[in-house]
Amino acid sequence: MTVTADRTTAPRTLTLDALGRLESEAIHIMREVAGEFDRPVILFSGGKDSTVLLHLAVKAFWPAPVPFPLLHVDTGHNFDEVIEFRDRVVARYGLRLVVARVQDWIDDGRLAERPDGTRNPLQTVPLLDTIGEHRFDAVFGGGRRDEERARAKERIFSLRNAFGQWEPRRQRPELWNLYNGRHRPGEHVRVFPLSNWTELDVWRYIAREDIELPSIYYAHEREVYLRDGMWLTAGPWGGPREGETVERRTVRYRTVGDGSCTGAVASTASTLDEVIAEVGASRLTERGATRADDRLSEAAMEDRKREGYF
Amino acid sequence: MGDLLRLATAGSVDDGKSTLVGRLLYDTKSVLADQLDAVHRASVDKGLSTPDLSLLVDGLRSEREQGITIDVAYRYFATPRRTFVLADTPGHVQYTRNTVTGASTAQLAILLVDARKGVVEQTRRHAAVLALLGVPRLVLAVNKIDLTEYDQGTFEVIAKEFATYAAALGYTSDTVRTIPVSALVGDNVVDVSDRTPWYTGPTLLEHLETVPVEPDPHEAPFRFPVQYVIRPRTPEHPDYRGYAGQVAAGTVRLGEEVVVLPGGSRTRVARIDTRDGELAEAVAGASVTLLLEHEIDISRGDLLAAADDPPVLTDELDATLAWLADKPLRPGARVLVKHGARTVPAIVGELRTRFDEQKLSTTEYPESLALNEIGQVSVRTAEPVPVDEYRTHGRTGAFLVIDPGDGTTLAAGLVGAPLPVLGTS
Ligand SMILES: Nc1nc2c(ncn2[C@@H]2O[C@H](COP(=O)(O)OP(=O)(O)O)[C@@H](O)[C@H]2O)c(=O)[nH]1
């Protein structure tokens, strides 16, 4: 659990630093879920948080394979690099990937495209439908409490009612490291093993464990245009409007989501160390910097969470 | 990065808890520009002339509308000396259960009082909850001193009254620190105030940065709840059988003799495994996989413990409950007990005492325990469980009481009587 691990040397003593504690806590949470639930699933988008989640699952059950399938709610507004990465990682660990395509829900009329073309908020229905269809009873998410103030109130084991809704006023007290996974038929539990991690912890852990990420997390040149203070990429989801000009810039992504509303940040950080230095010095939260959907209103995230969003 | 301090806040509603936490985040520059912008905008919309720092922490719409904190929120901030995980818990009486949540893992608690009101009912209730859960250190933040004209006398009366109460709960004077602050103006939170020349102690942040942190229980007897059995049955690992879990207390070493409970068989630790390689020993807090010398039938819920210092195996628990549910507890209640990785059916027998945290006294044989009440009970479990006293072994002395019907967490359970012996009324 420390970086110095080396299978060829004599047994070592394990000491826990701050990252080691976070890792141990996350592994403990995953093993509780494996022990108490019948049909868990890991939400996996290929983004950095879900990649860390999968890495922790691999460590938690080693040398046995990860005992959970993966679920990706695909907006269709993807970065090619991320989908390529997703499929490669799934193949590497020999896991089963369930993909719920927002496009399918739009095609058969269960969902309507939004006027602004953004599909992040449309993920909730396919997510809940798929959870119901596969009878998943525990759903791992990569959410962190430092991301946003409604998330700061989320439990590690967070009960969702039969409609998939979060009821913040009825959250169970969560005591010590004893997690209560009881739920009635039709209900499910969202589980957040990274609750106590900060963005910087995630990056430091990625560096320490040498975890591969999609290339768009590192600085690269890209054709972008400026909207609402964010650098957006043209794609199948649309492109610059009148008055918005495309420029070639050196950027990187801090989060990976729906391409229509996930912005890149101007950055020259092309290595892990440079990214860590940049994140440490940033004066913006990762959502504030790069997610148009979170800027919708004062309570945008809370409202989406109540409905059953990630 | 220095070490880590886990802390919780408590205090009655309107004492300024959200403002204080907002101030700590703000003055330690833990608030990023976009969050601050949002607070500035919302404050202007509400017609305020200065930014309302409590908006930084009140995360739910109903909290902002009512101007109160409802649920525990977790905050992360760091100074060059330490990293802090802060559980910000609400003050309203009906939300005391969240104080229990926040306090269950805290190494220190900041208790707020309004300098104009001093120690009130809710202060005593919270201090009792903190003592029960064994939070090792307290800070009493006497807030809003700007509204008492920075009066030394007022502060000292409050400090003295609280010290007496805390001592009765078992807190020695070196574990309690009282600090005069104004969360709104910032006096003595991060920066030393020149309006309290009579106060020579540390600011709140200075204290948080320097207060000793209780070490992990590495020296305690070894305890390891088995969470999951790892059996790959793959060509490379056809016979691997590992017991996955987190060391709850003590240190496990290769070759050491362990007892498997409740079964009672003994064996030795043959291997301590992680994906990063084998270990010679693993300390409290570490998630590892143990391989044992003998083939014994072990499954999730069993406890591995130091053979020479095992816990007590019993189906009759004397325990203290902090009741967290709306419907009251009555004798004869059928519940589930979750202890370690094991959940067993149980019946609450007698209610022996109810603790009155206002008078620091107990009532014998109460008819019920209502929401937020603390009492001693007897619990009969369907199978024997290996337990330690909460006072000495927090992790293996703690359990959850769960409603078998809807799965609600009903109570925080603590083996034994962690509060000091009190007179009866
Ligand atoms: N004058 C003064 N007012 C304060 C101080 N701290 C908080 N307040 C005010 O007291 C009220 C309640 O504060 P809040 O932080 O919401 O309390 P909470 O309910 O404990 O979280 C608000 O109007 C604050 O502006 C202080 O140090 N001095």
Q: Do domains B217-306 and B312-424 have the same CATH topology?
A: yes
Q: Would you state the pLDDT for residue B190?
A: 92
In-domain check, residue A157: yes
Please report the ipTM that was assigned to this predicted complex. Answer: 0.91
Residues A90, A232, single domain; the answer is no
Atom 2 of ligand 1: nearest residue by CA position: B144
Please tell me the distance from the alpha carbon of residue B398 to that of residue B319, in angstroms, as a whole number. Answer: 9
Residues A255, A130, single domain; the answer is no
Please tell me the distance from the alpha carbon of residue B376 to that of residue B365, in angstroms, as a whole number. Answer: 9
- Over residues B312-340, the mean pLDDT reads 95
pLDDT digits 0-9 by tens, A20-68: 999 999 999 999 999 999 999 999 999 999 999 999 999 999 999 999 9
CB B315 within 8 A of CB A9: no
The partner residue sitting opposite B227, judged by closest CB among A25, A32, A151, is: A32
Residues A18, A129, single domain; the answer is yes
Cβ partners under 8 Å of residue A170, min gap 6:
none
Residues A22, A167, single domain; the answer is yes
Please tell me the distance from the alpha carbon of residue A231 to that of residue A241, in angstroms, as a whole number. Answer: 13
Class of domain B312-424: mainly beta
CATH code of A154's domain: 3.40.50.620
Residues A242, A158, single domain; the answer is no
CB B361 within 8 A of CB B423: yes
Atom 9 of ligand 1: nearest residue by CA position: B16
Interface list for B 391-410 with A (CB within 8 A): 394-395, 398-400, 402, 406-409
* Whole-structure pTM value: 0.90
Q: Which residue of B has its CA nearest to A198?
A: B76
DSSP-assigned letter for residue B235: S
pLDDT digits 0-9 by tens, A234-264: 777 777 888 888 889 998 988 877 777 788 8
- Over residues B74-102, the mean pLDDT reads 82
Residue B13 has pLDDT above 80, yes or no: no
Q: Which residue has the tokens 């990252």?
A: A19
Interface list for B 38-97 with A (CB within 8 A): 38, 42, 56-62, 64, 70-76, 83, 85, 97
Residues A194, A224, single domain; the answer is no
In-domain check, residue A195: yes
CB B346 within 8 A of CB B329: no
Residue B69 has pLDDT above 60, yes or no: no
Q: Would you state the pLDDT for residue A120?
A: 79
- CA distances to A35, A176, A265, B5, B309 from B76, in Å: 30, 18, 24, 10, 38
Among residues of chain A, what percentage have pLDDT more than 70?
A: 86
Q: Would you state the pLDDT for residue B97?
A: 78
Q: Do A153 and B409 touch (CB under 8 A)?
A: no
pLDDT digits 0-9 by tens, B257-286: 999 999 999 999 999 999 999 999 999 999
Residues A135, A109, single domain; the answer is yes
Q: Which residue of B has its CA nearest to A153?
A: B73
Residues A255, A119, single domain; the answer is no
Residue B78 has pLDDT above 90, yes or no: no
For residue B143, give the amino acid letter.
N
Q: Name the CATH architecture for the domain at B3-210.
A: 3-Layer(aba) Sandwich (3.40)
Domain count, chain A: 2
In-domain check, residue A42: yes
Three-state SS sequence of A47-106: CHHHHHHHHHHHHHHCCCCCCCCEEEEECCCCCHHHHHHHHHHHHHHCCCEEEEEHHHHH
Residues A25, A163, single domain; the answer is yes
Q: Which atom of ligand 1 is nearest to the CA of B67?
A: 16
| CATH topology assigned to domain B217-306 | Elongation Factor Tu (Ef-tu); domain 3 (2.40.30)
Domain boundaries, position A219: 215-295
